[in-house]
Amino acid sequence: MTPATRRLAGIILVVLPTVAFGGAALLTMILGQQPGYLDNPLRQDLYRAGHAHAAVLLILSLVILRYVDEATLSRPWRILASDGVPIAALRMSAGFFLSVLDPSATEPNGFINLVWIGALFLVGGVLTTGVGLLRAPRA
């Protein structure tokens, strides 16, 4: 594992507990300690989606980092392969959370577009890593 890949993995592992704190915050809201949260099904759904996407995509980021250094990729493609999924995790979860900041929201605001941008980074990172591994010389 290259030093850059190791550093990114370390950053992801340090950031990952924030997802657990987010889960605790959601649990507090669900248990009724934040008035109005349970009254808005849209907000509940998007907050849950933001939390789940953050967790799953950060774990996927760690898995992909184990393979990036074995892939045959030029520098720009290597950056997309290693950084695409972590960027997707940030953008997608932010899009879900920020799109319903108003407790009385009945539809997501413009921040929901961050989810689509994140999806592009997700697909780009995963496909680039996969293609790079398929192009790598066989051991």
In this prediction, residue 30 has a pLDDT band, given cuts at 50, 70 and 90, of confident
What is the sign, positive or negative, of the torsion defined by CA atoms of 42, 44, 50, 55? negative
Sorted by where each begins, the domain ranges of the chain are 3-135
Tokens of 136: 């790598």
In this prediction, residue 106 has a pLDDT band, given cuts at 50, 70 and 90, of very high
12 touches 58 (CB < 8 A) = yes
Q: Which residues of 69-107 are buried (b: 16+ CB within 10 A; e: fewer)?
A: bebebeeebbebbbbbbbbbbbbbbbbbbbbbeeeeeee
Window from 28-32, 52-56, 99-103 with minimum mean pLDDT: 28-32
pLDDT at res. 52: 94
pLDDT at residue 68 tops 90? yes
pLDDT at res. 84: 97
